């Protein structure tokens, strides 16, 4: 793999990690004097984190597919255009993040390890969301 591909992958990874760490630590979420169980701010933060992770991993899969670490459709290696490859990468990223996958697209080689990491993040994010919400409510209850 060339240096540009590695630089792109590392940059995307740093952005995703920083976003995840910011979310898990609570970021800049503050209660605005309301006593509610649902925080729209936390929900939108979670939504943005999911989008960042989905798009970030999608770009990583795309960059890897341009460097011959491929995603295979229905167990068949197919040549696709750059646009098709980008769309398949985002689709695979979304399916991997939100579920354990449909099986229609399969990673090959190093892509399998990346897919496992993404699936793990997809499972951990909801738990981190709930934990963050509980901690925010407890902290607000103690400060009253």
Break the chain into its structural domains and give their ranges: 3-24+38-143
pTM of the model: 0.71
Cα torsion angle, 123, 96, 118, 21, sign: negative
pLDDT for position 64: 87
pLDDT for position 24: 66
Q: What is the pLDDT along the chain (144 residues), one digit of tens a residue?
A: 788 888 888 998 898 888 877 766 665 555 555 544 456 677 788 888 899 999 999 999 999 888 776 778 766 666 778 888 889 899 999 999 988 777 888 888 888 899 999 999 999 888 888 887 788 777 776 765
Q: Identify the helix (H) or strand (E) that includes residue 44.
A: helix 40-66
pLDDT for position 77: 67
pLDDT for position 76: 67
DSSP labels, 65-129: HHTT--EEETTB-----HHHHHHHHHHHHHHHHHSS--SSEEE-THHHHHHHHHHHHHHHHHHHH
70, 79, 103 from 19: Cα distances, Å: 27, 34, 28
pLDDT for position 51: 92
C-alpha 49/C-alpha 84 separation (Å) is 25
C-alpha 100/C-alpha 129 separation (Å) is 19
Asked: is 3-24+38-143 a CATH 1.10.287 domain? The reply is yes
């Amino acid at each position: 793999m060339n240096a540009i591909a590695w630089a792109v992958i590392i940059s995307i990874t740093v952005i995703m990690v920083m976003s995840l760490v910011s979310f898990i630590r609570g970021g800049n979420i503050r209660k605005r004097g309301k006593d509610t169980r649902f925080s729209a701010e936390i929900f939108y933060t979670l939504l943005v984190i999911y989008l960042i992770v989905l798009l970030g991993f999608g770009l990583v899969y795309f960059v890897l597919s341009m460097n011959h670490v491929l995603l295979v459709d229905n167990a068949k290696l197919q040549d696709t255009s750059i646009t098709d490859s980008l769309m398949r990468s985002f689709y695979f990223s979304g399916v991997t993040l939100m579920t354990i996958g449909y099986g229609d697209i399969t990673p090959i080689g190093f892509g399998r390890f990346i897919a496992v990491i993404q699936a793990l993040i997809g499972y951990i994010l909801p738990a981190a969301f709930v934990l963050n919400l509980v901690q925010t409510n407890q902290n607000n209850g103690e400060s009253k």
